[in-house]
Amino acid sequence: MLFASLMFAIMSMFVKLVSTEVPLSQIILFRGVPTAIGILGWALWAGKPIIPATWRSHVMRNIAGVASICLSFYAMSRLPLATAITLNYTSPLFIAAWMMFQGSLREDRLRLFAVVLGFVGVIAILRPDVDNAQWLASLLGLLAGGATALAVMQVRSLGRAGEAEWRIVLFFSLSTVLTGGAATAATGWVAPSWSGWALLLGVGLSGLLGQFAMTRAFSQGSAALSAVLQYATIPFSVLLGFLFWNDSPDGFAWFGIVLIAAAGLVSTWRTMAVPAASR
């Protein structure tokens, strides 16, 4: 999950760099194109079965994943970026709430505390601000966090049902390609420069690696631990912002990074201390 968080931070960096050249519809399209082409070509070459037995779960996972992308991008277009990202990172809280409802976290308040502690760290770094005219966009941004949580829990269900990780990633990428392709057809194609093509390829490749790592984390590992470690994307993004844009974190931001690291350590220790069945 830490590797996935790093890859998603790098992907966000590529998105930020290329967003001045092409519209978001094309970025979404290229988020899925390299993954879909690469995995589909490999599966056909290796003779792997493409159609999954658990196709209903794939449909639910992809609907939730695409909805999360659309809602989060809408929130980013209407809200301050810090506010939109904070709302999207409520997904671990939704995951923790669902696990408490199921009973797996109901008696484990330490891991629940780690989730909340990590979210406080996110707020300390981003310090969101919402005025009275932004409540609708804020609500949709919050729904994006819920949709993300639903998507990753579906990934966990698919993994426990024995679904291959490559097939989970493939069908999500195909859904992303269809969504981005439809949006690009509606808004029109903008030809990128050579550097723009390289950045779009960076979006796709880093998204591919991040998606595989996240799928492995949620399908094979602890959902509670993986949920907390998602917050690591924020410190990685802060570091990349400092390296490439000279955005120096202030005292509150460093305090948030410490809280996120503490949340990850607490959750890791607790996960290793409990039986595997309750993780």
Q: What share of the chain is helix, strand, coil (3-state, %, to 5)?
A: 80, 0, 20
Higher pLDDT, 119 or 186: 186
Residue 184: which pLDDT band, with cuts at 50, 70 and 90? very high
Indicate if the pLDDT at residue 106 is higher than 60: no
Average pLDDT over residues 227-250: 78
Average pLDDT over residues 244-266: 77
Single-letter residue type at 24: L
Higher pLDDT, 249 or 204: 204
- Tell me what pLDDT residue 192 has: 93
CA distance linking residue 240 with residue 128, whole number of Å: 20
Residue 141: which pLDDT band, with cuts at 50, 70 and 90? confident
- Tell me what pLDDT residue 277 has: 46
35 in Cβ contact with 207 (< 8 Å): yes
| Angle, alpha carbons 276-115-241 (nearest 5°) | 120
Indicate if the pLDDT at residue 153 is higher than 70: yes
SS3 assignment, position 91: helix
Residue 274: which pLDDT band, with cuts at 50, 70 and 90? low
SS (H, E, C) 100-160: HHHCCCCCCHHHHHHHHHHHHHHHHHHCCCCCHHHHHHHHHHHHHHHHHHHHHHHHHHHHH
DSSP assignment of 150-193 equals HHHHHHHHHHHTT--HHHHHHHHHHHHHHHHHHHHHHH------
What the block records as the tokens of 200 is 């779009």
Single-letter residue type at 269: W
Indicate if the pLDDT at residue 181 is higher than 90: yes
Q: What percent of the chain has pLDDT over 70?
A: 85
Residue 162: which pLDDT band, with cuts at 50, 70 and 90? confident
| pTM metric for this prediction | 0.76
pLDDT digits (tens, 9 = 90+) for 23-51: 888 988 998 898 899 889 988 998 888 88
* Residues whose CB is less than 8 angstroms from the CB of residue 223 and which lie 6 or more positions away in sequence, other chains included: 95, 99, 152, 153, 156, 279
CA dihedral 97, 255, 80, 210 (to 10 degrees): -60
What the block records as the tokens of 37 is 């082409």
Higher pLDDT, 17 or 54: 17
Q: How far apart are the first and last CA of the chain?
A: 15
